[in-house]
Structure 1
Amino acid sequence: MKKKSKVSFDKISFIKLRRMYLFALITIAITVLLSQLLIQYNLNSQLSDSKIINISGKQRMLSQKLTKEVLILNFITDSLHKEKQIDRISKTISQWKFNHYSLVNGNDSLGFPKEKSPILAKHFENLKPNFDIIIKATNTFLANKKQNINDQENQKLVQTILENETVFLSKMNQIVSEYDTEALEKVTLQRKTEYGILAFTLLVLFLEFLFIFKPTNKKVELLISNLLSSERKALKLAQDTEIISEAKENSVKELKSLNYAMENTLLYCRIATDGTIIHIGEKFAKLLQYNPFLSDKKFGQVLTPIEKEQIIIDRIVLENHRRGWQGELNITTRNEQTLWLDLSMVPVTIKRDESELLIICFDITERKKAVQEVERLNAANIADKLNQQKVISSKIVENQENEQNRIAREIHDGIGQMLTGLKFSLESINLDDKEKATIKIEYLKKLALDIIKGVRTATFNLMPPELSDHGINSALAKLTQELSKLTGKNILFYNKTDFNSRLDSLIEINIYRLTQEAINNAIKYADSTHIIVQLSHSATLLSITVDDNGKGFDINAVEKKRNSESGMGLLFMKERIQYINGRVFFNSIPNEGTRITFNIPI
C-alpha cells in the first residue's frame, strides 16, 4: 500500500513537473520567436531601404549620363554613330523612367513600398516638373535628330535639359538625404526594440529560474532516479533492439527490390572519380555488349571502341566529377551502330573522404532519328516552296512580257497603220477638186473614229476608266459587256446586293484582274457558251462568283501539275488574292462546268 501511494505521488509530481517545464519552454520559445520575427522584419525593411537609397543615388548618375549622351549626340554628324547614340540614349531614358516610377509608385519586385512619408512625397512632387521637362525635351531632341531637322530648336532643348538636370540633381540629393535620415531612424528604433526584448527575455529566464527550476530541482532528481531503473532500461533496450532489427530487414528488402528494378529497367552504372567502372547494370551491359565482371575499365572504353569518342567522354568525367553533368552523347557501339544517350552524371558521397559518380542514361536514338527525319522533310518542303516561287516569278515576268508585246502589236499593226494611212490621205487631198476632197474627208472621219476606237480598246485593256472613275461594280459590268461583244459568248453580270461602294485602289484592281483571269480561262480552256459573273456582299465580306457551263476539270489532278498552264493559273489566283487578304475557292465537275468564288474582307 505504501509503494502504491509512493508511485501515485511520483506520477503526480512528474505531471506537475512536466507542466512547469512546458510552461517555461513555451514562454522562452514565444519570446525568442517574437524577437526573431521583429528582427527579420526590421532587417527586411533595412534591406529595402538600402536598395531605395542605392537606386536614388543611381538616378543622379543616370541623369548626368543622359545629359552627357545628349551633348555627345548634339555634336555627332556620322549617321551610323548617330543611330547608335540615339539607341543608347533611349535605353538610358527607359532605365531612368523605370527607376523613377518605382521610387514614386512603389515596386513589388524590387521591394519598394508604395506608401512614403509626407516629406518624401513632397520632395517627389517638387521633382516631377523637372523630370517631366527633361523627358519631354529629350524625346523631342531624339525625334529631331532622327529626322535631321530643327537644329535651332535642338540647341534650345539641350539648354533646357542642362538647366533642369542641375535642379534635378539638387532635388534628388534632398530625397537621398531624407531616405538616409529615415533609415537611420529605423535602425535606432530597432536597436531600442532589441534591447527591450533582451531585457524582457532575461526577466523571463530569471523568473523561471526563481519560481520553477529551483523549487523543482529535488523533485527532478527523484523522478529521474525512478525513471532510470534497471528493469525499465532493459525492457526499453530490448524493445528498441527488436524495432531496429525489423527496420533493418525491411530496408534490406527494399534495397534488393530497388536494385533488381534498376538492374533490369535502367541504363545505369557507378564509376570512380577517375572514370573507372565500379559497377554496371545488367541492362546497360547488354546494350553496350560489355562483360560486367571485367574490372579496371574506363567508362569511355565501355561506351565506345572509338578512341576519339573515348577522349571526349573521359574529359567530361574529369571536368565534371565534382559538380555533375547532364547532356546528350552520340557514340558508336562495338557493332558499328550509332547510339544516342541522354546521360546524367550525379556525384555521390559514400564515406567522408570517398565519393563516386552515379551514371543514369536513357536511349534516345529513335527520338533523334525521328527529329532528323522531320528536319530533312522540312528542308525538302522549303526547297519545294522556293522552286515553286521561282516558277511563279518567272511566269509572272513572262506574262508581263507577253502582255506588253501584245499591246505593242495592237498599237503597231492597228493604230500605227491607221495613223500612217491618215497621214498619207491628208497629204493627198487636193482642195481644188472639191468633190474628191469631200469624199476623202468623209473617209478620214471614219478612219479617225476607228483610230479612237482602237485607242480606247488598248487603254481599256491596260486600265479600264470605269474602275478608277466608278469602282468595281461598273468596271465588271463593262468588262462582261465588252468581252461578250468581242467573243460572241453570252457573258452576263449581276449585282445581287446592289453593292456600289468604293474600295482601296489596290483591292479594286486585284479584284478586277482576278475576275478577268477567271472569265478568260472560261473562254480559252472551258469551251463554254454561257458565263455568269455575280457580285454580292455582307457587312464584312465581298464575294464574286464566276460560273461557266464548260467542260470542267479535275481540281486535284490540275493542282498536282504545277508546271502546266492551267495549274499555274490556279496558283496565280491563289497568290494574287493573298495580296488583299482574300480567299479563292474552286468547284468544278468534269463535263458540267466550273465555279470560282473570290471572298475579300471589306
Structure 2
Amino acid sequence: MKNSTKESVDTISFKNLRRLYLFALLTIAVAVILSQLLIQYNLKRQLSDSRIINISGKQRMLSQKLVKEILILNFLTDTTQKKQGIYRINETAQLWKFTHYALVNGNDSLGFPKEKSNLLARLYVAVKPNFEKIIGSTTLFLENIKQHRNQKENQKLVQTILDNQVVFLSKMNEIVDEYDKEALEKVTLQSKTEYAILAFTLLVLLLEFLFIFKPTNHKVEKLISKLLFSEKKALKLAHDTEILSEIKENSVKELKSLNYAMENTLLYCRVAPNGSIIHIGEKFSKLLQYNAFVSDKIFSHALTPIEKEQQIIDRILLEKQRTGWQGEINITNRNEQSIWLDLSMVPVTIKKEESELLIICFDITERKNAQEEVERLNTENITDKINQQKVISSKIVENQEKEQNRIAREIHDGIGQMLTGLKFSLESINLEDKEKSALKIDYLRKLSLDIIKGVRTATFNLMPPELSDHGINSALAKLTQELSKLTGKNILFYNKTNFDQRLDSLIEVNIYRLTQEAINNAIKYADSSHIIVQLSHSNNLLSITVDDNGKGFDVIASEKMRNSESGMGLLFMKERIQYINGRVFFNSIPNEGTRITFNIPI
C-alpha cells in the first residue's frame, strides 16, 4: 500500500515537472523567435538604410562628375570628342536623375521606402530647386553644343551649374548626415530591445533551473542508482552462460566464414601426392565444369582434357610436391576455350608422414587477353608511325628540293642576270667619254642596289638576320612587314605582352618557320585579305596565334587525309613543334576563318 501511494505521488510530481518543463521551453522558444523576427526586421531596415546612405553619397559624386564632364565638353573643339562627351553627360545625368527621384519618391526595386521623416522631407524640398536648375541648365547647354550656337550663354549656363552644384553638395551632405543619424537611432533601439529579450530569456532559464532541472536531477539520480543495482545482479547471473555461448558462436562463425570464403571466392583444391583430388572448391569446379562426385579423378584430368597439357601438369606435381611451385599455365577447358591460371602449389603436412598439396589459382584470362590486345595495338601503332615517318621524310626531301630549286632559280634568273649586266656595263665604260660614263655609272649604282636587294631577299628567305641578331620578336615583325609588302595582304603583328627575351637558337628557328608556314598557308590556300599574328607569354609559356579571315577548312577531315597537301601541312606543323616540346592547336570554321596557336614552354 505504501509503495503504490509513493509511486502515485512520484507520477504526479513528474507530471507537474513535465508541464513546467514544456512551459519553460515554449517561453524560451517564443522569446528566441521574437528575437529572430526583430533581428531580421531591423537587418532589413539597416540594409535599406545603408543602401540609401550609399546612393545619397553617390549622388554627390555623380553631380561632381556631371560638372566635370560639362567643363571638359565646354573646352573641346573636336567633333568626335564632343559627341562622346555629350553621350557621357546624358548617361551621367540620366543616372543622377533616376537615383535622385528614387531617393525622393521611393523605389521598390532598389528597396527605398516612400515614407520619410519630416526633416528629410524638408531637406529634399530644399535641395529640389538646385537639382532642377542643374538639370535644366545641363539640357540647354547640351542643345547649344549640338547646334553650335550662343557660346556666351553657355558660359552663363556653366556658371549657373557650378553655383547650384556647390549648394546641392552642401544640402546633400545634410541629407546624408540625417540618414546616418536616423540609422544610428534605429540600431540603438534594436540593441536595447535585444538586451531586454536576452534578460528575459536568462530569467526564464534561471527559474527553469531552480524549479525544474534541479528537482528532476534529484529524482533521476535516485532512479539511476536503483537501475544500476538491478543491472549488476542481472549481469552476474548471465555472465557464465554468455561466455560459453560466445565461444561456441564465434567458433561456428569463423568456420562458416572460412568455408564460405574458400568455396566461393578462391579457386582452390586439395590434392594428394599421387595427384588425386581430395577436395575441390565450388567456384573452381564450376570454372572447370568438373563434377565433384566423380570417382577416380586426378587433378590434371580435372583441369583439361588435352593430353599434352595433362602431362605438363603431372610433371609439375611430381617434381615440385615437396618444394612447392608458383607460375602461370595455359589450359583448354571442355568447351575448347583457352584459360590462363596463376597457380600456386603449397605442400601441407597433416600428420606425421602424411601430407597433401594445397593448390590456389587465380583466373587471369582477361588480363592475358588484354596484354595480347595491347601488344597487337602497339605493333600496329609502331607500323603506322614508321609509315608516317617515311611519308614525312619523303615530303621533307621533296620540299627541300623544291626550296633549293627555287633559290637556285631566283639567284640564276634574278641576281645572276643582274651580275652579268653589271659585268657588261663595267666593260663598256669609256672613261674618255665622261658624259656617257657618268650615265653608265649612275645606272650601275641602281643596278648594284637591285643586286643588294635581291641578295637580301634571298638571304631573308633562307635565314633572316633579325632572327639571329635580335630574336624572335624582331624576326616576326620583319616577316609580317615584308610579306605584307610582297603580297599586298594586310598582315599585322602584335607583341601583346612586350616579350623581348632571347631563346635557344633551335627554338627560335622552329618558331619562325612554324609562323612562316602558317602565314604562307593563309596566303596560299585560305584566300584571306587580313592576317593577324599575336605573340604573348607567361612565366613558363610562349604563345603565338595566327588568325586569318579566309575560307577556313574542316580540321578533322584534313587530319584524316594525310596524303593530301593540307593534311601533310598540319602533320608537318605537329612534327616540327614536337622537336621543341611544344603543342599546336587548329581551330577553323568554313567560310569564316582559321586560328592556329603555337604554345612553346620557355
- Normalising by structure 2, we get a TM-score of 0.54
SS of residue paired to 2:591? coil
Cα deviations across residues 541-570 of structure 1 (Å, max 9, x unaligned)?
433222211111222222222332222222
Cα 1:475–1:253, aligned 2, differ >3 Å: closer, same or farther? closer
Residue 315 of structure 2 aligns with an amino acid whose one-letter code is R
* Aligned twin of 1:560: 560
Once structures 1 and 2 are overlaid, which stretch shifts more, 578-587 or 258-267? 258-267
| Equivalent residue runs for 1:100-499 within 5 Å | 262=262, 266-431=266-431, 436-499=436-499
> Once the 2 structures are TM-superposed, how far is the Cα of residue 266 of structure 1 from its aligned partner?
4.5
State the superposition RMSD in angstroms. 3.2
Cα 1:521–1:269, aligned 2, differ >3 Å: closer, same or farther? same
Provide the rounded CA distance (Å) in 2 between the counterparts of 1:372 and 1:479: 52
Q: Does 2:521 align with 1:516?
A: no
* Aligned twin of 1:593: 593
| Equivalent residue runs for 1:533-544 within 5 Å | 533-544=533-544
> Once the 2 structures are TM-superposed, how far is the Cα of residue 288 of structure 1 from its aligned partner?
3.0
* Aligned twin of 1:91: none
Provide the rounded CA distance (Å) in 1 between the counterparts of 2:501 and 2:260: 80
Provide the rounded CA distance (Å) in 2 between the counterparts of 1:248 and 1:507: 78
Residue 365 of structure 2 aligns with an amino acid whose one-letter code is T
Provide the rounded CA distance (Å) in 2 between the counterparts of 1:347 and 1:320: 9
> Once the 2 structures are TM-superposed, how far is the Cα of residue 331 of structure 1 from its aligned partner?
0.8
Provide the rounded CA distance (Å) in 2 between the counterparts of 1:567 and 1:348: 67
* Aligned twin of 1:547: 547
Residue 567 of structure 1 aligns with an amino acid whose one-letter code is G
Provide the rounded CA distance (Å) in 1 between the counterparts of 2:491 and 2:464: 18
Cα 1:307–1:465, aligned 2, differ >3 Å: closer, same or farther? same
Q: Does 2:581 align with 1:577?
A: no
SS of residue paired to 1:451? helix
Contact 1:494–1:535 (8 Å) recurs in 2: yes
> Once the 2 structures are TM-superposed, how far is the Cα of residue 369 of structure 1 from its aligned partner?
1.6
Cα deviations across residues 287-313 of structure 1 (Å, max 9, x unaligned)?
434444444443223322333222221
> Once the 2 structures are TM-superposed, how far is the Cα of residue 430 of structure 1 from its aligned partner?
4.5
Once structures 1 and 2 are overlaid, which stretch shifts more, 262-271 or 509-518? 262-271
> Once the 2 structures are TM-superposed, how far is the Cα of residue 435 of structure 1 from its aligned partner?
5.0
Provide the rounded CA distance (Å) in 2 between the counterparts of 1:499 and 1:265: 64
Provide the rounded CA distance (Å) in 2 between the counterparts of 1:414 and 1:253: 99
Contact 1:484–1:490 (8 Å) recurs in 2: yes
SS of residue paired to 1:466? helix
* Aligned twin of 1:531: 531
- Normalising by structure 1, we get a TM-score of 0.54
Provide the rounded CA distance (Å) in 2 between the counterparts of 1:465 and 1:246: 92
Cα 1:257–1:597, aligned 2, differ >3 Å: closer, same or farther? closer
Q: Any unmatched runs of 5+ in structure 1?
A: 1-242
- How many equivalent pairs are there? 360
Cα deviations across residues 413-450 of structure 1 (Å, max 9, x unaligned)?
21112222322333344455555544444433333222
* Aligned twin of 1:505: 505
Contact 1:288–1:303 (8 Å) recurs in 2: yes
SS of residue paired to 2:500? coil
Residue 380 of structure 2 aligns with an amino acid whose one-letter code is A
Cα deviations across residues 233-281 of structure 1 (Å, max 9, x unaligned)?
xxxxxxxxxx999999997997688667755664333221122233444
> Once the 2 structures are TM-superposed, how far is the Cα of residue 340 of structure 1 from its aligned partner?
1.3
Q: Any unmatched runs of 5+ in structure 2?
A: 1-242
Contact 1:547–1:596 (8 Å) recurs in 2: yes
Residue 385 of structure 2 aligns with an amino acid whose one-letter code is K
Cα 1:320–1:527, aligned 2, differ >3 Å: closer, same or farther? same
Provide the rounded CA distance (Å) in 2 between the counterparts of 1:600 and 1:449: 39
Residue 591 of structure 1 aligns with an amino acid whose one-letter code is N
Provide the rounded CA distance (Å) in 2 between the counterparts of 1:406 and 1:330: 64
Contact 1:278–1:295 (8 Å) recurs in 2: no
| Equivalent residue runs for 1:65-76 within 5 Å | none
Cα 1:436–1:589, aligned 2, differ >3 Å: closer, same or farther? same
